[in-house]
Structure 1
Amino acid sequence: MNFSTLFSLLWSPMERFILWLLKPWLLSLIGVALLSLLVWYEGPLLAFNGSEPLEPESRRWALIALFVLIWAGYFAWRLWRAWRANRGLMAGVAEAPVVAPGVRETQAEVAELGERMRSAMAVLRKANPGWKMSGQYLYQLPWYMFVGAPGSGKTTALTHSGLQFPLREAMGSGAIGGVGGTRHCDWWFTDEAVLLDTAGRYTTQDSYSEVDKAAWGGFLDLLKKYRRQRPVNGVIVALSVSDLLQQTDAQRQAQAVAIRTRITELYERLGLRFPVYVIITKCDLLAGFSEFFETFGRDERAQVWGVTFALPQPAQPDSGLASFPSEFDALERQLQRRVLERLQQERDLSRRALLYSFPQQFASLGDGLTRFLNTVFEANRYQEPALLRGVYFTSGTQEGSPIDRVLTSLAASFGLGRKALAPNVASGRSYFITRLLREVIFKEAGLAGVNHQEQRRRQLLARAGRMAAAAVFVLLLAAMTISYNRNLQLIADASSAAAQVAQLAKALPTEGDVLVTLPLLNAARALPSGYSDGDNSVPLLSRMGLYQGNKLGAGAVTLYRRLLRSTLMPHIVANMENALRRGDASNQEFLYETLRAYLMLGERQYFDAASVQAWVDVDWRRELPQATPAQLQQLSDHVSALLEADDEAEPVPLDSALIAKVRLALASMPLSQRIYNRVKRLVEQQHLPELSVNSAVGRDVSSLFTRASGEPLSRGVSGVYRLAGYRELTDKTPQAVTDMAKDSWVLDRQESAQIAGGNPAMQAAVLELYYADYIRQWDTFLADVHLSPLTSLGQASLVTTVLAASDSPLRALLQAVSRETTLDGALTSATSQDTDQRVRDKIAAATQRLQSALGGDSPAAPVDAQANPVDQHFAALHRLVGTGTGPQPLDEVLASLKDAGQFFDSADAARRSAAPAPSNEVLARLKRSGDTQPAPLSALLRDVESGGTALTLGNEKARLNALWEASGAPFCRAAIDGRYPLVRSSGRDATADDFGKFFGPGGLMDDFFSKNLAAYVDMSGNPWRWRSSGVTPLNISQDVLNQFQRGAKLRDMFFVAGARQPSMRFDLKTLSADPGLTKVNLDIDGQPVVYDAGSVADFTSLSLPSGKSGGLVRLDATPALVSPLRSDGPWGWLRMMDKAVVSAQGEQLQLTFTVEGHRVVYLLRASSVINPFRRDGLESFHCPGSF
């Protein structure tokens, strides 16, 4: 035995063992075992988020069991999927074939075919258990399809292929299918592959084209459905020798085209490229075939005879087809080389002739076969070329008469007849089939491509799976890295923050208020993972089994609480002791609560964190006015943390002497007052809604009402002093009385006897204090409600109209107040009603005693013992609002408001038409009505009256102002104001006509005053005054009146006897002149006043204007002056007087002119004491401004 033989013997079992080891299920099972060992031995070392989840053995066993279940589940799922696909394929295979029209098949035959297929499936499942265990389900075997024309020998080749058919013994046949030829499709099941022997008419589709085409398409869809990845592993094209030799060229061409079409359909419909094997069947019909190969033994007959082409390159897809002629010639030469040997072995001359001519017989196939192959496989640009893998020659059985192509050709050439060859005798032997299928075709099962769509789907799924796995790995790795870095940073931050806290602790001042501790306490509270982070969830990326915050946090919280005890608690205790020492006698309730909170710090059995927190918050808001809201909130948070952990702390040492002193001071507060204060706080803590003006009316009424205190209308009476608060207080009072006995430790005295069982008398005393507060709160609120300021008559009309409307907000407000101040019948509890009745009886008895003391022996007036004190106080309001459905007293008040609205409308109309305002008697009646009404109605009515009166007069004032602005004011500003003679320095003169038009009798100013203002002015004195009685004052400024008085004076100065033009009359004489002047001539508007030196002058009477020289005034002398004095215009004489030095000489005026150094003195005597020559009357006037 040589080495190669020994290696072959040893390699075969070794190869099988290696292949077994490489099976996926075994490899994965080994992986699960290794992973389980890793979990078992290394799992306890894994820590996650501060814990070791795999430390207990039970958890490791559970995790290992989970791995095994996942592995088993996955392969069970694969087996189930394979079983389902196999079952579906079997069901599809077993379906009854479609019966073609004209073919007579009974239903019994069709049923028999289906039954045979199901029986075959059952036989296959039982025949080889390895089919199940090895996963070799039917659909997992390689599948090959035989195609060819009818009678091409496909079935014969399979029958004599030498393959193992599991159905042969059970069913007497190797195939399941039709009878009498391959009617539809024969299914050949072998232990190595499944061979589909399709009906020849499927290939040619020349009998029943529509039925054949439909059946062929359905057959392909069945394959594609259940074998998505590789529907077939290859196609075997069967071509018989008889077709090649006996068919015409046209017939062979048609058959080739049909086969090409079927292959193209397979490529397109199945979506994959597979190898095509061409088998030339019935080679025994070549004359001499049987004689030539009859000496072959079994192994020689099983060999392959034909050509296997090399796999084509992409650039040469039909390279195999191109090489076929040369390869065919090589096969012929091989036969030629063996002819001599066979001739020597054969003695029969006829047989030797057949042997000798066999190579030529074989060669006769070449041309037809080449043309056939070219037609089927030649590439073109429109179709994908088929993968021609090889051409092979076979013989399944030797039947029929051989065809002597050579002798036939010779006989035809020479016109000779030929002798027919004897038919072959069936030998039952097959040639060149077995190894062709097993070692060539079946071995290349993986050569076929895959379904491109399925391949893309699988690739996408695989790629997605790999990407998902990679992403999960990367994410986990990134998460672990981030967690590691974060925890490193956390440790660094904690170390840095701890160092900062230590530094702040060293720098903490020993003195100062509590605010100095805030930086230290804030820093300690904010330590990483410390107290401030206690309620925050840790981010996932900070955990991942690496989180160090719990360890760091425990130390941080301990440090923070230690600092609270050492820094904050001393301040709290000091503040409490200071408050106790101050002992505010005016606020004993606060002193009591301070003592109570102080004692809680030292007597742990009474400790209540909420009470201490409340006291500290209130104290710091009061004692630290400089603190911001943020600082106060921070202090409150620190106190909360201190008290939260203070349950386990040592009690605070207390000052017993101070406690005794405070207890002695608090003993003076009545017990009922302490109880009332406490129960009131309990009710306040419920935050009952207030009753405000807005809430009473049901909407915002800021346009109607306001509060004198400046408080918004959304604020009002506390809910404690409403019906709901009344019910709550009366319900809570008995319990508060009982609780006060429990707090007797605060004052260290036994009060249980006074308030045992709730003590109804004590409850009544508490309720009496409440009633007094109730009345005080409502009185304050109602006195604060006023009407919004009335700004215009239109607004006043709108306000009063709204107040008097059917949905009057005033009515709604008063009704709400009446409801909230009617306590009778408000209680539902029998205990509360009894307490309330005790208060009423007590008040009634006290009232009776007081009346008796005041009245001596006379009988006292009866007292209604059933009346509630609050109801009694607000009885007038209740009567005003009423409770019935009929007319109420309030209706009359609202009617008066409606009348006031109409009055305001009339006054507004008068204002718009510039008419005098109507009588305000309506407002006077409203004022009288308000004097008798309860609050807040009395104040509201007074507001309407006072505001309306002011608006009426204000509008009269506005009317007068508008009238003045429309008549005299524009003319005054344009023609008088800023002009001479009113402004001495002005270069512009007021014309005589304009001056007369404005100041003259009946002029603009005189006419306006007499018609509009005279009735309001007292002209009996100087200066004039606005009248203060008899008429309503207009409130016009005194300056306006002064200007009208000055205008009247100017009228009297310039306008004599009702003249329309201003005029002046006076006497003038010369007193003296400079000796250097021999003669002086003063010409005043053509009226000369002449003076000769040495003479005595007399007065000259003058009147301006004279109408002689246009107002020109000239002072000249002899000898002649270079620049004589002169002035002109309607006010020429007044301007000339401005150039003189004027001095009073009794009622006369001395005028001294200086001309070129010469003095001339005149004496002026006015015709009236009211004259314009004293300029104060002129220059003090200016146009009256706004009224």
Structure 2
Amino acid sequence: RRLRPASLGAAAGKGRQPARSVVLCFGTDEFLKPGARESVPEQARILRTRLAELAAEVGAPVPVYVLFTRTDRLPFFLDYVGTLKSEEVQDPLGVTLPIRAPVDAGAHGREEGGRVRAAFDELHASLGVNRLRVLPREGRDEIRSGGYELPRELRKISEAATAFLVELSRPSQLGVTPVLRGFYFTGVRPIVVKDTETSAPVPSAPRPSDVGATGVFSVEQIRGGGQAQSSASAGGSRKVPEWVFIQRFFREILPGDAVAQALTAGGARVQVLRRVALGLGVAAATIALVGFTTSFFGNRALESRVAAAGAGVAALSPDPGIPPTLGELERLDSLRVELETLRGWERSRPPLRLRWGLYQGDRLLPPARALYFQRFDDLLWAATRTRLVAYLDGLGAEPGEDDDYGQTYDALRGYLVTTRHPDRSESGVLSPVLIHHWAFADEVDEERRTLVRAQFDFFARELREGHPLPREADLGRVAAGREFLFRFAETDRVYQALLSDGSTGIEPVELARITSGAGGALSGSHSVPGAFTEGGWERVQAALADVDRLFAAEAWVVGEQAISDADRDRLGQELRDRYVTEYVEQWQQFLRAATVPGFGSVADAARRLDVLAGNQSPVLQVLATVARNTAVDSARIRPAFQPVHEATPPEIRDRFVSDPNQDWVGSLGDLQGNMDQLAGAAGAQRDQAMGAASANADQARRSVRQLAQGFSVEGEARVAAAEVQRLLEAPIQLSEALVTRLPAAQVNARGQAFCSAFTPVLAQFPFDRTSSAEARMDDMEALFAPETGALWTFYEDVGRNLMARQGNRFVAAPDASPRPTAEFLAFFNQAAEISRAFFGDRGSSPEVVFALRPDTSDDLPEIVVSIDGQTQRFTRTIAAAQTFVWQGSRADHVRISGVLGGSDVTLLDAPSGPWSLFRLFGRANWEGAGDGRYRLQWAVPGQQINVTAELSLPRGLPVFRADFMRDLRCASRIVQ
């Protein structure tokens, strides 16, 4: 920085910067180290960053000379340079590259790489030619042969060195870039010098270690730095290091490079104002670039989403005769969501990230809307419109006993809204009518019904933007509907107009809106029309003061009507009474519709209780909604819902948790903590948590009873009191039931894990006689071996508390709680018999000892039985039973042969394998003979003869019989 000219002078062009160069030293041995493929490029990037900072500081492209030091670490380097004379080692070993014009960053690797590789080729060729001249000086063959290999060793690292140099000189697009001027190799060689009478070295004072990058090669440092002062000593010889290939580099090449010096000597510092302007311009360009880029990709993502949703809808081919599937409705709804978003942005403004002159929403909305309503028509509207029209056309001349004025009025109003008056559409009024007349309203589940409601709501809102599926109204049908309505009692006609007027502009209260955010902690569906809400009450009271206005307001539906002065007062009172009665019924139904679903598990209970006990408790939301909408100026409505007001005071509007329900919320929170502990507890900790949960459940129940003491139970308040208590006690009762069932549930969970080990083996032979796969002996030991097998370890861990042993049988323990199921007892007893048959009481590997005595006859005078290398011959004189041992570890084959018609023939055999004997005995007909003895009979294939034998099993278990293991099925439901 001291060499920089004065700022003002440089800015005016009066000062010039001194010439600058960089000598970068990098060890050649770095290319030979393990992991050099990753470490060397990383070092090059770090050095490139530092060089770029230096070039930016100078304000001009700085020439860089790369000096590869420690070249003596290359194999055979010393063999080569040892033959060189002192003046020869002063010549540089490297290449000075010409300054080239800047190239694009994308072409740098190809251009610079080619240039450096060509320079390396030239260097290799020079070494190769030179070795023919210098190596003959060496008399030792092994040294001469080694020196001959140096060019080859240098070529081995040339590709890595090229990559290093290319990365080092990679141009930056944001500023000036250093320029690679050349690369050179240097190292040291040992030489022997002879001393005459010299001085012994005396260490000199240490020099300062803080030297600049170029100070390492300063003349003072080379000549004196770090050398010792001399004192007198005797003459002799010593070996000292000598730098090679470097002397002329610092003496001639570096200071004499006029081309490189011109690069930096003429560069002036950028003016401050120019930098500020450039910075502002770059900032503005960056903001614009970011804005346009974000907008471009955001709009492209928007187009992709709309296109994907549209493609899904376009592919729909609904069958009008069956309810739409969940997948079809979800596809239609995905496009509806995108259209809702686009419509919202059209009404207000799209977000800034999508504007910047690139917003595509206005172009996407019309075709996407047309496609949506085309499929909406196919999937929902066509059938709904047909049923709506059929209903109106089916009206008789006079209303019957079962006809309802409100239903007919709603149908006629819906028909007019969807034909002549789309501007009067309101989703809260029209959607329930359309769902009522939808063909499959009673056949779909709640999830599909919710999706259908969303489509009809959207249709109702879009009618105000222009009818997407216009139809002309049939005036005859409208006139007939109005005439039918006119024949109802006058109160019905005016009452419906009253409700329609009271609901206008007021959204209905949907229980589903509360339950949808409850995470499964509360369920239910009921819609209270806007006329029966807090806001609707005020509108209805105002309307009742002017009945004539009601007729005028609904004339577009029912036509022009008039009311006599004499009937006005009577109608007013009848309408008030009817409205209040239905007001009470609507909110009673709202309470009844809300339910707390059962808990699936302890973890599920903990999760749902956390929601129910939170400050947004859905139960309290339901009660608060009822309370706030029934706290109206009515001598009948307020008392009917006094229990609700007691639990959640209607005057508290900013929260749901308040003093009256605080104890219930706290007790429920404690119960949730117990369930959370139970979810991960076992053994004594589980028992302790169960006790705490029961205690907290009792406390929560007491808090409900204490709250219920303030409930009125007179008249209609009795209904609300029962429903409030039901909702508050439901999570407590469900938790108690779950805790009661928990021991059985945990045992059965262990049973499922227990059966998972059995199930794969039980699907193999000999348990499944039809299976081609055979059970391995390792599996038999893992399942049935005494003490170590899964059967008996489960017994020790779980079964001992459930079952009592009576001889070789297991029965339910008298004090077992919970009680084991009959299915599990049957399975365990059969599995225990199999274990005893194969292992006895202490065996560690499957083994069956048995005695066999075949029956000889005149037709079959001699029989030979061969079982896994055990061969016994039976004749009329040798007829005694013989003992055989089947051992699973070595079992392989079985064969029964005999003399038949004077010839030795094979009578019976089975495929080889460990279960070969079981397959052979499984084909026989068995007949019990008592005391563990059985008579077996085989039909000899291809012969008119049978083979019979007596089988004796000391343990008395017919383990070889086909049905002994065939029906074994693990019962995972361990206890009741």
Q: Which of these two proteins has the greater Rg computed from alpha carbons?
A: 1
TM-score range, shorter-chain basis?
0.3 to 0.5
TM-score (norm 2): 0.42
TM-score (norm 1): 0.36
